Every structure is written in structure tokens, then in C-alpha cells.
Amino acid sequence: MKLSQRIESMQQSPIRKLVPIAEAAKKKGKKVYHLNIGQPDIPTPDTFFDAVKNFDEKVLAYTFSEGIPQLIDSFINYYKKYDIHFDKDEILITNGGSEALLFSLVAICEHGDEILIPEPFYTNYNGFGNLAGVKVVPVTTKAEEGFHLPKKEDILKLITPKTKAIVLSNPGNPTGVVYSKEEVYMLKDIAKENNLFILADEVYREFVYDGFEYISFGHLKDIADRVVIIDSISKRYSACGARIGSIASKNKELISQILKLCQSRLCVATIEQIGAAALINVPENYFTEVVEEYKKRRDIVYNSLNEIDGVICEKPNGAFYVIAKLPVENAEDFVVWLLRDFDVDNETIMMAPAEGFYATEGLGRDEVRISYVLNEHDLAKSMNIIKEGLKVYNNKK
């Protein structure tokens, strides 16, 4: 039976496709440090689990397609702390940030329309673009420039009559870049002048280091009608498995149209919504501690990488990822080699080859994405494994 071209041409996740090789390494008794996936090791706040345990309805019934009221309120109150203001009819609860992005794309774009995305980008944007039948047009950014945006004129060149939106994550996955005020305002001007929506994936909003001034697209009042905030509790509260996300926009018509898509899948898992709603009660110092911890980890990774000859890595200001350019021709080959043929005291690491985060053919072939989601001790060991690995790998040729 023939399957569709659109599914066959879909790429496998660069984050997950090498998992079988890692599993084989583990079977041989090697310890593998997972720097390939953005799965934090930070405990999920007990508040979540307590609320789940207190659920005592007799029937686990469908709930509102837009989300349960207490969870929508919880998002409203969360945003207030960032001086971002949404009403009840401006927020929809979704199955993670994933569904939020998919639904937004479908509501904004016809099949065959285009969206601009700074590359390297979160690889699943490709999957959602594919599902929505929307063409991803990459805005290339470079490791040497810390993945900051190119000049306005270079972005304008990519806009066609089919371009409907700019999609971005800020702070950035997989780059860790946090856009400066100038960059955010440049995107605002581009959106305004060219009648584009901005789909801002801000799931790493908390993870900004070094006192860098973070500007949410939710702060730009004069383009509020064209800004859609894609969000999720996954990273913020280390609750990836809850699959709770949201769409927020001051464009009420957009929200009411997307509600039809929400109705078609009925509702989001009820018990996880109840857990998520309780998270608004997590004390503020939770974030302070978590962010401090990630900053320490970022420093270990960044400093260690910069001590290795030939590695290029600008200091990222946010999220918990860094993309490093390695002194190898093909980073995927190196990642596979580390898993199969290398170890330091029977330990090795897994990273995500970065080529899959680019839409432009050939870019990122010598780059890897490293998630600093492990403790400092394991990260230090992991960085040493890269250093020693590169020595052996480059000498053996």
C-alpha cells in the first residue's frame, strides 16, 4: 500500500534518531550522558502532583475545548507577572506548545503559504509545517554571530505574497540566543510593514541569564493584533510529560476561530490540566533557584567548549541549549563514533547533530546541539569526553 509523499519525505527527529545507537552502547555496559534532548532533571513541583492526587470526580469527563477555567486563570495570572495582559477569551489550552503552533499555522495559512523561521530552528517546526501544508523559509543565522538575526534588508528579501507569518522561539531552541530589543523591534516593524503574524514560542521565557533584558512579543502593544504567544509549562516547571501548552493572542477573532480546531479534538487531558492549574501557586523563588542552577551549567558548558581547540561557540544568554561548531567535517559521524567507539572510563555522551535543525541544505553539518540538562558534575565529565574524543577522532585520520 502506497503512503503519502508528505509523510515519506518527513525527516526523522535529529534529537531522537540516534537513540538506537545509544541504546546499543548502553547494552554493552557503557554509561551514556544524554545531552541530546531537552528533558530537564529538575523535580516537577509537588504542587502539581498534589493537585493530581486530590482529583476526586467519579467520572473523568470531557472538559471545555478551550481548557478548564482554573488553568486559563492560572495562565492569565502568570502573564501578569511579566506585565503581559490577557483576558479569558484570549487564551486556549493546547496539547503542549506543539499543538498550539500547529493550530495557529492552520488558522493563519492556507495550504502552500510560507512562513519565515530563523534557522537553526526547533526541528519539530518542520513537522508542524508539514502537517499544516505550509512551506518553511529559513532566515539563516550563524554560530560566529551567536545566532543573532541578520539585517532587516536580508530578511525582507525572503518575503513573498505567500508569506503569512514569522515563527521564532525566544529564548531560542536550539541556539540559546535571546533577541535584543533592537532585534525584537526590527521583527515588529517587518511584521507591521508586511502584514505578517508573529508566532512567538516563548516557552523558555524564564531562562535568561547575565541580566540580559528580555522582551516578550506580548509587550508590543501596537502589533498586539498580529502577535500569537505559543507557550507551555514543560520547561518552566519541568513538566514535559504533562503536555500542557497554550495559545494567547489579543486577536480575539483568531482565538475564536482556533477554538473550532480545539473543539474538533474535544479537549486536553483533564487530570494534567488540574495539575498544571495548581502550578501558579509555586513560589517565585522556585524560578530563581532553577535559573541559577541552569546558569551554572551554561557556564561549565560554554567555558569548557571554549577551551577546546577549533570549537566555535558564542555565549548563549538563554534557554538551556548551545550549538557548537566542532573541528570535524561531519558532526553526526562524530556523535555516532562517540557512542560506538569511544569512552572515557567506560562513559560517553550523546549529542544532537545540528544539521537537522537547518532547512538550508548543507548547513550545520559540523555543528551539534548540547542540552545542559544534567547536573554540574555530569556536565563537566561530558565536556571532558568531547575534548578527549576530538583529540582521538582527529588524530586517527
**Residues 65-84 contacting a copy of itself, CB under 8 A:** 65
Q: Is the dihedral of CA 257, 263, 269, 271 positive or negative?
A: positive
Quickly tell me which residue has 550563524 as its cell.
142
> Whole-number minimum distance, CB 16 to a copy of itself, in Å?
6
Counting contacts by CB under 8 A, is residue 1 touching a copy of itself? yes
Q: Cis peptide before 43, with omega less than 30 degrees from 0?
A: no
Q: How many residues does the chain have?
A: 397
Beta sheet of 114-119, edge-to-edge order: 91-95, 244-248, 227-232, 197-201, 163-169, 114-119, 135-140
Question: Which of 16, 81, 181, 391 touches a copy of itself by CB under 8 A?
Answer: 16
Contact between 390 and a copy of itself per CB under 8 A:
no
Does the footprint of a copy of itself cover residue 270 (CB under 8 A)?
A: yes
DSSP 254-301: HHHHHHHHHHHT----HHHHHHHHHGGGS-THHHHHHHHHHHHHHHHH
Which of 12, 77, 281, 288 touches a copy of itself by CB under 8 A?
Answer: 12
Does residue 190 belong to the site contacting a copy of itself (CB under 8 A)? no
- Choose the binding region for a copy of itself from 53-61, 137-145, 304-312, 332-340 (rule: CB under 8 A): 53-61
Query: Considering CB under 8 A, how many residues would be counted as binding a copy of itself?
Result: 77
DSSP 8-state secondary structure symbol assigned to residue 328: S
User: Least distance from C-beta 74 to a copy of itself, angstroms?
Assistant: 16
**Alpha-carbon span 285 to 176, nearest angstrom:** 23
DSSP 147: T
Residue 240: how many other CB atoms lie within 10 Å: 17
Pairwise CA distance, residues 153 & 178, whole Å: 21
Q: Which of 18, 25, 48, 386 binds a copy of itself (CB under 8 A)?
A: 48
Q: How far apart are CA 373 and CA 352, in angstroms?
A: 13
Whether the Cβ atoms of residue 114 and residue 162 lie closer than 8 Å to each other? yes
Are 359 and 158 a contacting pair, CB within 8 Å?
A: no
Phi and psi at 114, nearest 5°, equal -120, 150
Asked if 99 interacts with a copy of itself (CB under 8 A), we say: yes
- Which one of 24, 60, 156, 392 is in contact with a copy of itself (CB under 8 A)? 60
Taking CB under 8 A as the rule, does residue 13 contact a copy of itself? yes
Residues 224-253 that bind a copy of itself (CB under 8 A): 225-226, 238-243, 251, 253
CA atoms of 64 and 164, how far apart (whole Å): 30
Determine, following the binding rule CB under 8 A, whether residue 7 of this chain makes contact with a copy of itself: yes
Least gap, CB of 129 to a copy of itself (angstroms): 10
The answer to whether residue 382 forms part of the interface with a copy of itself (CB under 8 A) is: no
Nearer to a copy of itself, 353 or 389 (CB): 353
Closer CB to a copy of itself, residue 20 or residue 310? 20
CB of 310 to a copy of itself, least distance (A): 32
Smaller CB separation from a copy of itself, 48 or 179: 48
The three-class DSSP label of residue 289 is helix
Give whichever of 267 and 305 is closer to a copy of itself, judged by the CB atom.
267
**Using the rule CB under 8 A, is 286 a contact of a copy of itself?**
no
DSSP, res 318: B
In the stretch 104-133, what mask flags binding to a copy of itself with x, by CB under 8 A?
Answer: --xxxxxx-x----------x-xxx-xx-x
Site for a copy of itself in 320-359 (CB under 8 A): none
Q: How far apart are CA 1 and CA 15, in angstroms?
A: 29
Which of 21, 26, 30, 37 touches a copy of itself by CB under 8 A?
37
Here the cell at position 149 is 538575526
Give the interface segment with a copy of itself, choosing from 207-215, 269-277, 287-295, 357-365 (CB under 8 A). 269-277
